[in-house]
């Protein structure tokens, strides 16, 4: 039994002016990415690693870059020779310039190479968008059930296990698919609080239904203005009636909860959050600069929050971070301890903001492929990076000589706090700040998303009607 492994993964915000180019991808080939799958030794199968490409979320992928990666992947797949199965390690929310449904294009191309009888499986982030073309070309599917994602490895493991099982037992699975007309942001739909905890908890009930191999609910990725964007219920199995019933049940559960999804922490404007933090009894408050979150596709260089901290004369704060290569170069040239005048941010996302002129002192320089500097601007320590990057761990600050909990306010370009930051933060707020990944979806200029869709269209009726796709449920 031979199974090829590879894939491509990124989130593409179509409202971002910042294209994702070829050099934004980290591309691993052959054995280099097999450590993502420590469970492969459990299976009596030969796994052939091809290529896996990953990019930090950003704007739409440059068309030439996508075609180059896809062409190389297909060539590697062709050169690998006959395979019994293909496991695709995906995200599910990629947009390519002048192309909607990029994953559907990728999967269809793989299907063309391997033919109709080879089984194909894919793991998806629960923030992936699903189309009919995706469902048609896959045999096995599973998406994460947690946000923040703590079951990513378990999901990849499950897909490989099901793929091997189906190959061994001669099963050609069926898929029941429901596209749910709800487009919500991940910060509202976390599985750590209600109603997300109960909605996603209900997937465990599907796991015990005879004839069901996997049940998934995908929130989707609302910042891609595509017809397929939105939520999905997708059930894989061998019993047509069972998977149809479960897909309809899950879709209805999600639909009925649509207006109950909310942020897990208090939300307000940038100024609201600063004022609340200054008045808080806790010695340190974390605030999410959510509209410019690079891990959701934001440019990561909007300096509006820094400007408001300065306007409020906040005496002790940290901002992580602002991506600005010229500012990093200026700080490197000046050196640690030097006074610098910077035109900070506003270059990658000029639609949202303009550069902010600041005077500061260079505190720290960490040279690397993505050099980071720390600049003291008034009472604020600003982390400035050569390229966009997230700050999800307390250690990310500490290695730059910054103790975040020693400051009254810590601003992080993020949505919901990732687990390490959440554990550390004495208190947290989420700012509904402007940016390419604005949490207030009604402020964004949608043109292509299918309508009606909640919350853009708040009042309409809908009934789930599953579409059944795939094989017989038995031998290929």
Residue 111 lies in a domain: yes
Using CA atoms, how far apart are residues 18 and 14, in angstroms rounded to an integer? 9
- Summarised one tens digit per residue, pLDDT across range 375-410 is 999 999 999 999 999 999 999 999 999 999 999 999
Using CA atoms, how far apart are residues 229 and 285, in angstroms rounded to an integer? 34
Exposure pattern of 124-147 as b/e (b: 16+ CB <10 Å)?
bbbbbbbbebbbbbbbbbbbbbbb
Please compute the mean of the pLDDT values over residues 465-471 and round it to a whole number: 93
pLDDT at 159 over 90: yes
Per cent of the chain over pLDDT 90 is: 98
- Say if residue 57 is in the same domain as residue 146: yes
- Say if residue 220 is in the same domain as residue 272: no
pLDDT at 24 over 90: yes
pLDDT at 29 over 60: yes
Tell me the C-alpha to C-alpha distance, in Å, between residue 165 and each of 152, 170, 223: 20, 8, 36
Coil/strand/helix, residue 125: coil
- Summarised one tens digit per residue, pLDDT across range 188-226 is 999 999 999 999 999 999 999 999 999 999 999 999 999
For residue 297, report the phi and psi dihedrals to the nearest 5 degrees.
120, 0
- Say if residue 248 is in the same domain as residue 286: no
Residue 445 lies in a domain: no
- Say if residue 411 is in the same domain as residue 275: yes
Residue 450 lies in a domain: no
Tell me the C-alpha to C-alpha distance, in Å, between residue 140 and each of 162, 174, 237, 384, 387: 7, 9, 9, 43, 37
Residue 150 lies in a domain: yes
pLDDT computed for residue 473 by the predictor = 56
Predicted TM-score (pTM) of this structure: 0.94
3-state secondary structure 33-58: HHHHCCCHHHCCCEEEEEEEEEECCE
Using CA atoms, how far apart are residues 243 and 234, in angstroms rounded to an integer? 9
- Summarised one tens digit per residue, pLDDT across range 116-126 is 999 999 999 99
Residue 312 lies in a domain: yes
- Say if residue 305 is in the same domain as residue 200: no
Residue 457 lies in a domain: no
Please compute the mean of the pLDDT values over residues 122-134 and round it to a whole number: 98
How confident is the prediction for the chain on average, in pLDDT? 97
Using CA atoms, how far apart are residues 385 and 294, in angstroms rounded to an integer? 12
Exposure pattern of 98-107 as b/e (b: 16+ CB <10 Å)?
ebbbbbbbbb
pLDDT band at 472 (very low <50, low <70, confident <90, very high): low
Residue 87's domain spans which residues? 2-261+464-470
- Say if residue 273 is in the same domain as residue 156: no
Torsion of CA 67, 65, 101, 78, to 10 degrees: 30
- Say if residue 212 is in the same domain as residue 306: no
| Closest to 139 (Cα-Cα) out of 166, 173, 176, 111 | 173
pLDDT band at 471 (very low <50, low <70, confident <90, very high): confident
Distance of CA 27 to the CA centre of its chain: 18
- Say if residue 356 is in the same domain as residue 370: yes
- Say if residue 75 is in the same domain as residue 55: yes
- Say if residue 254 is in the same domain as residue 289: no
- Say if residue 305 is in the same domain as residue 237: no
Residue 475 lies in a domain: no
Please compute the mean of the pLDDT values over residues 100-111 and round it to a whole number: 97
- Say if residue 232 is in the same domain as residue 91: yes
Rg (CA), the chain: 23
pLDDT computed for residue 475 by the predictor = 47
> How many domains in the chain?
2
pLDDT at 476 over 70: no
Partners of residue 464 on adjacent β-strands: none
Comparison of pLDDT for 471 and 151, the residue scoring more: 151
In eight-state DSSP terms, residue 443 is G
**Contact between residue 215 and residue 246 where contact means Cβ atoms under 8 Å apart:** yes
Residue 305 lies in a domain: yes
Element (H, E) at 141: strand 140-143
Element (H, E) at 176: strand 174-180
pLDDT computed for residue 220 by the predictor = 98
């Amino acid at each position: 039994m031979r199974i090829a492994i590879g894939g491509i993964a990124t989130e593409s915000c179509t409202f971002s002016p910042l294209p994702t180019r070829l050099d934004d991808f980290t591309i691993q080939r052959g054995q280099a990415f097999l450590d993502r799958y420590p469970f492969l030794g459990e299976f009596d199968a030969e796994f052939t690693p091809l290529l896996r490409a990953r990019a930090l979320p950003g704007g739409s992928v440059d068309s030439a870059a996508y075609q180059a990666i896809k062409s190389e992947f297909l060539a590697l797949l062709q050169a690998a020779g006959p395979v019994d199965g293909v496991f695709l390690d995906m995200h599910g929310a990629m947009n390519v310039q002048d192309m909607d449904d990029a994953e559907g294009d990728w999967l269809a191309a793989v299907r063309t190479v391997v033919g109709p009888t080879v089984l194909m499986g894919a793991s998806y982030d629960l923030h992936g968008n699903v189309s009919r073309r995706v469902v048609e070309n896959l045999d096995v599917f599973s998406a994460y059930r947690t946000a923040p994602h703590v079951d990513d490895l378990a999901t990849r493991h499950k897909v490989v296990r099901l793929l091997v099982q189906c190959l061994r037992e001669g099963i050609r699975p069926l898929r029941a698919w429901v596209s749910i007309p709800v487009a919500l942001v991940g910060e509202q739909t976390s599985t750590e609080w209600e109603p997300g905890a109960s909605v996603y908890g209900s997937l465990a009930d599907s796991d015990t239904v005879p004839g069901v191999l996997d049940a998934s609910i995908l929130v989707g990725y609302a910042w891609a203005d595509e017809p397929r964007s939105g939520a999905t219920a997708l059930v894989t199995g061998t019993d047509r009636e069972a998977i149809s019933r479960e897909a309809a049940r899950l879709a209805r559960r999600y639909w009925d909860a649509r207006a109950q999804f909310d942020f897990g922490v208090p939300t307000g404007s940038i100024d609201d959050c600063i004022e609340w933090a200054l008045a808080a009894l806790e010695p340190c408050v974390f605030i999410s600069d959510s509209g410019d979150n690079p891990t959701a596709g934001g440019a990561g260089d909007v300096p509006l929050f820094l400007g408001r901290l300065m306007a409020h004369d906040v005496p002790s704060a940290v901002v992580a971070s602002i991506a600005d290569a010229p500012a990093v170069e200026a700080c490197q040239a000046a050196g640690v301890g030097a006074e610098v005048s910077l035109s900070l941010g506003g270059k990658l996302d000029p639609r949202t903001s303009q550069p902010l002129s600041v005077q500061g002192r260079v505190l720290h320089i960490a040279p690397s492929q993505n050099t980071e500097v720390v600049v003291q601007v008034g009472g604020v320590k600003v982390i400035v990076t050569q390229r966009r990057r997230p700050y999800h761990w307390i250690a990310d600050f500490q290695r730059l000589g910054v103790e975040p909990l020693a400051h009254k306010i810590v601003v992080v370009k993020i949505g919901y706090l990732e687990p390490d930051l959440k554990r550390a933060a004495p208190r947290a707020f989420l700012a509904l700040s402007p940016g390419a990944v604005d949490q207030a979806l009604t402020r964004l200029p949608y043109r292509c998303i299918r309508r009606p869709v909640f919350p853009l269209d708040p009042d309409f009726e809908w009934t789930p009607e599953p579409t059944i796709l795939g094989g017989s449920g038995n031998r290929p």
